[in-house]
Structure 1
Amino acid sequence: MYNRILRYLIAVFILVITTSCKDEVLPKPKGYLSLEYPENKYKSLELERPYFFEIPTQSITVDEKNNWLKIKYPNLKASIDITYRPVENNLTELLTEAEKLVFKHAVKAEQIIPRDFVNEENKVFGSLYEITGNAASHLQFHATDSTKNFIKGSLYFYAKPNYDSILPAVAYIKSDILKLMESLEWKE
């Protein structure tokens, strides 16, 4: 009987020692990337187009057919794809098509936030759409003079969409898109 009590006390002692000396387990805090982006500097679009605007100096401009354009951000693995279409009594069709492309992302989007843009002086009227969530494109915009010219732009990343990871890059490129829209002028 003495052996049985001794074994019981040793077992209890080992159990108490192994379970009571641990540090308290706490959940790890969320980690965020500490990314540094270059200061936004701009230059004039050097390609001959029916439109003009300023583009980021750290970007690469790719000339495409039909006055289309690709503004690449190699360090961010992203691009702004810009399409141009002349307005030929089809403005409603062009606006409808642009909005369809935005709301095509509604399946994966958490929210689509529109922002209208009006520059009476340069005859630039358009909208910027911020698409939150794991959509393929997080920023889309269109602009027109309502009579002759229409452009549409979309931001794409060359990676699987993970909104939380690319959110800082989206915010950085958004300021470039706003500068593009603010400096947009139509050539006569």
Structure 2
Amino acid sequence: MRIKKILLPVMAFACISCGNDPLPKPKAMLRLDYQKPEYAKVDLPIPFTFEKNKAADNISKLKLDGINNSYGIDINYPDMKGTIYLTYKKVTADNLNNLLRDAQNLTQKHTMKADEIESIIYENPKQDVYGMFYEVGGNAASQSQFYVTDSTHHFLSGSLYFYTKPNYDSIYPAAVYLKNDIKHLMESIEWKK
């Protein structure tokens, strides 16, 4: 009788406490809030102008080759630990195909680590700017790359790199934010005459 008095409340408590079935947690993405982009025109002593996000703290310019008017421009984002590297080269009568091939091959080198590579054609006939934007998904070293040209005088290519080992899940919010900056940069390019 004494066992029944103890066992009955214990069994009742066990039945009542197991009323809710456990539910798996939904998948979640890391949420990082970045400031709304504000763009300002950059007019360096180079053959083109463009707009950059004010979140980029500085731009460094390096003249690569004085004979061929080649330039390297780095747009640094220290808060996101990333940099957009731009390379400008003057188009000559015989180098456009090589420049296009090199830009496309640079993107294709990421296929071993990339989950996907999406290419988007870019055209702005009003400013005489034509090119391609590549979005690289997965743990590749560069998540975004592009090139633009007027096919006769100017060729500009760019790549986004982070100062960390590629982990797509961790850098995804920053990669999306900077991808939009790259697209804006492409859309704002004006060749100098």
TM-score (norm 1): 0.85
Q: How many residues align?
A: 178
Q: Gapped runs of 5+ residues in structure 2?
A: 1-10, 65-70
Map of 2:118 onto structure 1 = 113
Q: Gapped runs of 5+ residues in structure 1?
A: 1-15
Equivalent residue for 1:85, pick from 85, 89, 94: 89
Map of 1:133 onto structure 2 = 138
Q: For 2:171 and 2:37, how far apart are their aligned partners in 1?
A: 18
**Matched AA of 2:84:** I
Higher gyration radius (CA): 1
Q: For 2:31 and 2:146, how far apart are their aligned partners in 1?
A: 28
Spell out, residue by residue over 1:32-88, the C-alpha distance to the aligned partner (whole angstroms, 9 max, x if none): 322111111011113211111101111021122232100011110001000011111
**Helix, strand or coil at the partner of 1:98:** helix
Matches for 1:7-156 after TM superposition, within 5 Å? 26-59=23-56, 60-66=58-64, 67-88=71-92, 89-156=94-161
**Displacement of 1:28:** 3.8
**Matched AA of 1:48:** P
**Displacement of 1:30:** 3.2
Q: For 1:71 and 1:140, how far apart are their aligned partners in 2?
A: 14
**Helix, strand or coil at the partner of 2:31:** coil
**Helix, strand or coil at the partner of 2:40:** strand
Map of 1:13 onto structure 2 = none
**Displacement of 1:25:** 5.5
**Matched AA of 1:56:** N
The sequence identity of aligned pairs, in percent, is 44
TM-score (norm 2): 0.83
Does the aligned pair in 1 maintain the 2:120–2:134 contact within 8 Å? yes
Does the aligned pair in 1 maintain the 2:43–2:50 contact within 8 Å? no
Map of 2:68 onto structure 1 = none
Q: For 2:47 and 2:102, how far apart are their aligned partners in 1?
A: 21
Q: For 1:87 and 1:101, how far apart are their aligned partners in 2?
A: 18
